[in-house]
């Protein structure tokens, strides 16, 4: 976020705003689509959203295209992005879903 390709102030400012918008959109998509799934990895979700960033940006011209792009991202987030389960050191979601694991943690 703190690196820029340009030295001109207007270019640096534009890049900062673009990166902030990307973070805002990514965060919004994760909140709206992953809130009810405690076993999803936010890191994997962010990577998936980054892979679809160009598709998402190119669909801003129409509401229907944007809905289609968001549906593709939503389906990807629901189908993948799961955290790997751990036996020795359970994830927080594993502990919340199965309190018996607390004695193992």
Q: Can you give the residue ranges of every domain in the chain?
A: 9-103
Evaluate whether 56 touches 22 at the Cβ level (below 8 Å). Answer: no
Q: Are 39 and 90 in contact (CB under 8 A)?
A: no
Task: Spell out the residues 6+ positions from residue 77 whose beta carbon is closer than 8 angstroms to its own.
Answer: 29, 30, 33, 34, 40, 45, 48, 49
* Confidence at residue 1, expressed as pLDDT on a 0 to 100 scale: 56
pLDDT tens digits, 21-79: 889 989 999 898 888 888 888 889 999 999 999 999 899 889 999 999 999 999 999 88
> Can you give the pTM of this predicted structure?
0.73
């Amino acid at each position: 976020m703190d690196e820029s390709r340009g030295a001109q102030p207007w270019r640096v400012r534009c890049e900062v705003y673009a990166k902030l918008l990307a973070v805002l959109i990514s965060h919004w998509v994760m909140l709206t689509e992953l809130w009810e799934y405690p076993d999803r990895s936010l890191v994997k979700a962010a990577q998936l959203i980054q892979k679809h960033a160009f598709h998402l940006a190119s669909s801003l011209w129409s509401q229907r295209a944007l809905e289609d792009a968001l549906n593709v991202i939503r389906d990807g987030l629901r189908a993948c992005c799961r955290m790997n389960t751990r036996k020795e050191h359970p994830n927080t979601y594993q502990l919340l879903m199965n309190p018996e694991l607390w004695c193992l943690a």
